[in-house]
A and B are shown apart, each in its own frame.
Chain A
Amino acid sequence: MKLELRGITKKFGAFTANDSIDLTVESGQVHSLLGENGAGKSTLMNVLFGLYEPTAGEILVDGRPVRFSGPGEAMRAGIGMVHQHFMLIPVFTVAENVALGDEHTRAAGILDLESTRRKIREISDEYGFHVDPDALVEDLPVGVQQRVEIIKALVREARVLILDEPTAVLTPQETDELLDIIRRLRDNGTAVVFISHKLREVKAISTVISVLRRGRMVGTADPDADQSELAALMVGRAVGLNTTKSAPQLGEETFSVSDLTVLSPEGVRLVDRVSFGIRQGEILAVAGVQGNGQTELTEAIMGLQKAQGSIRLDGEEILGRTTRQVIRAGVGYVPEDRSTDGLVGSFSVAENLVLNRFDRAPVGNRFQLSPAAIRSLAEQRVTEFDVRTQGVDLPVGTLSGGNQQKVVMARELVDDLKLFIASQPTRGVDVGSIEFLHDRIIRERDSGTPVMIVSTELDEVLDLADRIAVMYHGRIIGIVPGDTSRDDLGLMMAGITPGTEPDTTPDTTPKGATA
């Protein structure tokens, strides 16, 4: 099967999201679409999937022009799509989700789930998915949910599979597994369209790479092209891929966590007797596969989660304080999910910039806000952090992911921080913004603030960290220097500590309570 897009143009009012784009996808190929957030990748795929009608241009399947008036028709033509945000019903089983929209019925309208189950098992065995058709989707890890989405497409006999930012939600291990699955699909003759802005993955998997920038196709590249070359093509200028930072100027250890334990409602230790300290002017990166207690650890520090143990900042115990008190003590916190925990989407950029500071001078007091002060502060922060917005009064939800993240960072990176914590500071952020955000984090460190970064991205951890703490099953299984090799870290993230005992490493012993 051969799928061609010819001269696709999609306009939203005066905005051109896609500008006469040509694209050809063939069986047995992995065609990557590379581009920054907002470059028009998703729009293009939504046109292809029948969600948008193109303003101009045509789609050809095996040389015949087709028009899709909806995803149903696209699916019947053999096009399947796995969205960045999954389209699954959490309380349905895998089989029910797969059957939805394509139900087989027996006599008297009885739902025939058995045939769906059988198909799921077949596909699961063929590609090594390990998916139980009777499992509830909400109980499955994100990576497995994604496989369910792929199964959904395969059950409908998709010959072209579009994967929209499939690795944005995956751990390094899950990403590797997904790439294996894509290779197997490719070998079986499926045409795969892989949308991403992660250069490493795109290079690892692609047959052809097409680069989109501001709605235009700016070029194609071979998978063996240089990373910085690809990045430059994508952003339109040279980008520094590796953050440069000087050696840390270490000060006092003003932040320490000792014997911190967080229990789940069922009594499982989500964070298990964790101890570490961070010195002024130092970045400690907490690495680990998603779901190994990092989220709970940061939430416990922020007073968002009940915990036992001790957390000391500048000699004072902050465990047991409310979130507001922790913030007032001088802690800047970038939560891992900006759209859920970081921002109020319907609030303006300006309101979001004072979300945790609305009742402090100059923007307000206990009783009322000062709109003029909020505005001028917002305009200043927006300029300083290069947030691309048409105005500080626009809802923050209309900004691109990278710009939303800049808003959160701009809010949290205030003067006189005693501690800065950032979870997944660059998740879903384009290459150009990553450089900027990393730079800001390092500047905060250099101003003498202890910095804690939680990230599942090894690249990010290696770029930023002065020391790396690896979490596994709720415990810190080792704290290692920032120049530890990728392989060693990978092993530790899988729970194996090379040559050392868990919890201790020769050069950095976690500090206990420093009274």
Chain B
Amino acid sequence: MSAVTSESTPASTPGPQGGGAGGSGRKGGAPNGFSFRDVLSGNGTVTVLAILLSLVISAVLIILTDEDVLEAAGYFFSRPMDTLAAAWSAVAAAYAALFRGAIFNYRGDTFSEGIYPLMESLTVATPLIIISLGIAISFRSGLFNIGGQGQMIFGAMFATWFGVHLQLPAGLHLLLVLIMGILGGALWGAVVGFLKALTGAHEVILTIMLNYVAIHLVTYFLYTPVLQREGSTNPVSDFLPSTAVFPLLFGDSFRLNWGFVVALVATVFAWWLMKRSSVGFQLRAVGANPDAARTAGVSVKRMYVVAMAISGGLAGLAGMSQVSGTEKMLNTDVAGSFGFDAITVALLGRSSPWGVFAAGLLFGALRAGGVTMQTETGVPIDIVLIIQSLIVLFIAAPPLVRMIFRLPAPGSLQARATADPVTQPTLAGAVAATTASADGHVAPADSATIGDADSSTTTPAEGDQR
């Protein structure tokens, strides 16, 4: 994808064929105008409503699959209240169990039993927050890093090797393991950045393929003396010595460890990086408009490498926090589905560091609570996955939420009044871009926001809404 174009076709503004806006970009354009940007720039109201909406829909699913409800529905016409009562109790029980498992167990006898679920949620959220920060930074830099999984595995692998094979004093060992975790992930991420800068290969393909490589590499190493536990025939590593493990934060009653503090520090770092640092400014510029960044003297290629290294480094740190935190050893499943959940969390958090932090906490809580919900009420934990998926689905399609709750289109009053009327970002442009991204196309989302004042930057969909 060369950014050098000899002519610039002016067809970069979505117009009457609004739906085509996603595809009608400048040819040869670098992956600027990342389509996610439209999703990322939504507002908080939509997020809250999306969460509410997905809880409501999941409630319907709980009702439809609940045996008591189905039984009561058999005599619905004679005693309709029975069905409604059964439905209510099914949902109430499930969500109450979810709450008890995720935040506060009000049935607990002691205070520590009461807050155990909250501590557990924070523990589960820790690696998710860290890796999602990395993914969010890649999004902001205009790169779609799907390689979180592979980078996390590399971080975990580096951390495990240095944890298991070295004997060092307590603090020093942990610090070294932490740095090696970051380094492992950063290396695996930087490979992608290098290949993209050097050859123009698309990072989506590179990261997907490197995920496979990482999975098979870790499996191989776990079957060879490099990492395999001595005397074991299973692909597991030795346990890490206590010098290389995060100390527990609040004593033995909870699994919560210093990894959570690391996640907090990582969030502050990500905020500083993207909001305050010179590197972050360049990363954001490259993400928003690589052509303008290049013209302003930013080395776009170098930023690709930097972005992928930072993104991968955070993923690697997440891998390390698994190994040195709850697991205390390495197996082939260390990255689980973190790499992909992180994309969801980054989207939910709109790729802003504190948004990601909050979204990570939410997902951690849902996961922790889902277990309790399943054991106590028999509602399958899959409902939690459905809730998660629906939240993101609604966030990816803000017009859907607005339609359901009859909200006005964003900025329809104040933004229009403050600026020229015809230069507003268009809703349909955003939708078009969002749909295009589903096919893996990179849509020129900037065309929806930039336009000469007199150009027609408004699409029929928007006109229809009025």
Q: Interface residues, chain A, CB within 8 Å of chain B?
A: 12-15, 17, 37-43, 45-46, 49-53, 69-71, 81, 83-90, 101, 138, 142, 145, 164-165, 169, 195, 264, 270, 291, 295-296, 302, 304-305, 322-328, 333, 335, 337, 339-347, 351, 355-356, 358-359, 364-369, 371, 389-390, 394-395, 397-402, 404, 428
Contact = CB atoms under 8 A, between A and B. Distances in A.
Nearest to B25: A90
Contact of A345 (B4, B289, B453): B289
Contacts of B10: 84-86, 142, 169
Interface centre among B16, B17, B41, B277 (most CB of A within 10 A): B16
Closest 4 pairs between A and B when the two form their complex, measured CB to CB: A345-B450, A400-B453, A324-B297, A356-B296
B6 A369 contact: no
B235 to A, nearest CB: 43
Nearest to B285: A344
A446 B413 CA distance: 45
Most interface-central of B299, B452, B454 (chain A CB within 10 A) = B454
B15 A87 contact: yes
A195 to B, nearest CB: 8
Nearest to A270: B6
Interface of B: 4, 6-13, 15-17, 20, 23-24, 26-27, 37, 41, 272, 276-278, 281-282, 284-285, 288-289, 291-299, 412-425, 446, 449-456, 458-460, 463-464, 466
Contacts of A428: 452, 454
A295 B6 contact: yes
Contact of A346 (B7, B37, B296): B37
Contact of B285 (A14, A81, A347): A347
B276 A165 contact: no
Nearest to A346: B288
Nearest to B408: A13
Nearest to B7: A291
B278 A51 contact: no
Contact of B289 (A69, A291, A340): A340
Given A51-B458, A85-B15, 13 more contacts: A38-B422, A51-B456, A52-B458, A195-B454, A295-B6, A323-B297, A358-B281, A364-B278, A367-B278, A395-B449, A397-B446, A402-B453, A404-B452
A215 to B, nearest CB: 9
Contacts of A390: 418-419
A371 B295 contact: no
B423 A339 contact: no
A37 B452 contact: yes
Contact of B419 (A51, A346, A394, A401): A394
Q: Which DSSP category, helix, strand, loop or mixed, fits chain A's interface?
A: loop
Nearest to A351: B281
A389 B452 CA distance: 15
A448 B225 CA distance: 72
A333 to B, nearest CB: 7
A42 B456 contact: yes
A300 B297 CA distance: 13
Given A15-B416, A70-B460, A90-B11, A369 B277 contact: yes
Nearest to B293: A344
Nearest to B444: A340
Contacts of B422: 17, 38, 42-43
Contact of A51 (B296, B453, B463): B463
B15 A41 contact: no
Contact of A142 (B7, B415, B463): B7
A397 B455 CA distance: 12
Contacts of A145: 9
Contact of A90 (B9, B285, B295): B9
A305 B416 CA distance: 39
A137 B396 CA distance: 33
Contact of B454 (A81, A164, A351, A358): A164
B450 A397 contact: yes
Contacts of A347: 284-285, 288
A248 to B, nearest CB: 28
A42 B454 contact: yes
Given A302-B295, A327-B297, A342-B292, A12 B416 contact: yes
B197 to A, nearest CB: 14
B382 to A, nearest CB: 38
B17 to A, nearest CB: 6
Contacts of B272: 368
Given A13-B412, A70-B460, A343 B278 contact: no
A359 B282 CA distance: 10
B424 to A, nearest CB: 7
Which of A84, A165, A346, A390 has the most C-beta atoms of chain B within 10 angstroms of its own C-beta? A346
B293 A369 contact: no
Nearest to B16: A71
Given A43-B421, A89-B24, A359-B278, A38 B7 contact: no
A398 B9 contact: no
Given A346-B449, A355-B296, A41 B417 contact: no
Given A43-B422, A85-B10, A339-B452, A369 B278 contact: yes
B283 to A, nearest CB: 12
B15 A38 contact: no
Contacts of B15: 51, 83, 85, 87
Contact of A13 (B24, B299, B414, B460): B414
Contacts of A85: 10-13, 15, 451, 455-456
Contacts of B24: 87-90
A81 B450 CA distance: 21
